[in-house]
Structure 1
Amino acid sequence: MSDITYLPLANGAWAYLCAFQDACSKHVVGWHVMATMPEELVTTALQRAFWAQPPTPGLVVHSDRGGQYCGNAYRALLHERQAVRSQSRRGECYDNAQAESLWSRLKTEVLELREWPVFADLDDAQASAADYFDYYNHDRLHSSIGYQMPYHAHQHLLQTTALNCPA
């Protein structure tokens, strides 16, 4: 699952964060922060996800209907890796609820701890996202995956899948 969120900067501008999250394990497998949100924002995050976890053919990659997820480079990257593009139905915000939940947690657990709930600059937003996803994947327990950490749930899922797949 994937989505883009806005991160407020102290100068009044925005940074944009795109993340790809495994729907089963909740593990954030790839992400990227930029000062703008061109298609490169999502393709870089997706490439990072594919480097971290090479996809098996037929992998379903879900997002909302944002323009960045409709571009030629994004679709070519999915095609190259034999992944299937899935998008929310028009007007159905709940189709991407898991991604929206991730943003809610990030903003609650990061921004509400700050004296002034903004990031100092783009570098601060990037560093804070890196720190948060490290915490989220390796330390944060999730009730929806049996109070496991996403990284451990993801590794267990990969081992189980590998054991059940014919060679």
Structure 2
Amino acid sequence: LSLVTDAFSRKIMGYELSNEMKATDVVKALDMTISNRQYRHYAIHHSDRGLQYCSAVYQAALQKGDIRASMTDGYDCYQNALAERINGILKQEFLLSACSTLNELKQLVEESIFIYNELRPHLSLGMKTPNQVHKKDQQQTLLV
């Protein structure tokens, strides 16, 4: 499961589920993020140093989306704490059922991300959902 998350609102903006971890798969999550993007803040994409994120195809997709790349210094999970936290929430709270097929798992992931973004309040967001915070930030941006 490849996820792209807005660090400010914690909203999962794009995702792609596949049975591999190819650069083209993570580009699909990035493409979903770019198509869902509703404002044009200066954007930075932070990731670990996985081969798919270091690949020329992924770096070209970032450049095309006018997004600056940022990567961890090494393989220290604390340098990518937000991603690790969201992965943990999805695994521990939502993705609890065993699925028989990839399509079944895709449906479960889609439902889980909807609940995470739209219904699950976060203590770190003042008990608001990621989407509530994201929409508020977007409205404030439009006023500036």
TM-score by length of 1: 0.81
Q: Which has the higher strand share?
A: 1
Letter in 2 for 1:49: T
Q: Is it true that 1:96 corresponds to 2:76 in the alignment? A: no
Q: Would you say the 8 A contact 2:39–2:138 is kept in 1?
A: no
- Give the distance between the partners of 2:42 and 2:53, measured in 1 at CA: 18
Long gaps (5+) in structure 2: none
Spell out the pairing of 1:113-128 with structure 2 (5 A cutoff): 114=97, 118-128=98-108
Q: Does 1:73 align with 2:57?
A: yes
Largest Rg, 1 or 2:
1
Question: Structure 1 CA distance, aligned partners of 2:135 and 2:4?
Answer: 16
TM-score (norm 2): 0.94
Q: Does 1:52 align with 2:36?
A: yes
- Structure 1 residue 152 corresponds to structure 2 residue 136: no
Deviations 1:30-82 (A, max 9, x none): 00101111101110000000001156263101111100001111111111121
User: How many residues are treated as equivalent by the alignment?
Assistant: 144
Q: Secondary structure at the match of 1:102?
A: helix
Contact 2:49 2:75 in 1 (8 A): no
Structure 1 or 2: larger helix share? Answer: 2
Within-5 A mapping of 1:108-147: 108-112=92-96, 114=97, 118-147=98-127
Following TM superposition, the consecutive aligned residue runs of length 4 or more in structure 1 with deviations greater than 6 angstroms are none
- For 1:160 and 1:54, locate their aligned partners in 2 and report how far apart those are by CA, in whole Å: 12
Identical-pair percentage? 30
| Amino acid aligned to 1:135 | I
CA distance in 2, matches of 1:129, 1:29: 13
The 3 A distance-change label for structure 1 pair 57 and 75 is farther
- Report if aligned partners of 2:121, 2:130 keep a CA contact under 8 Å in 1: yes
Which amino acid in structure 2 is aligned with residue 137 of structure 1? N
Q: For the aligned residues, what is the CA RMSD?
A: 1.4
Deviation of 1:162 (Å) = 2.3
Partners of 1:57 and 1:82 within 8 A in 2: no
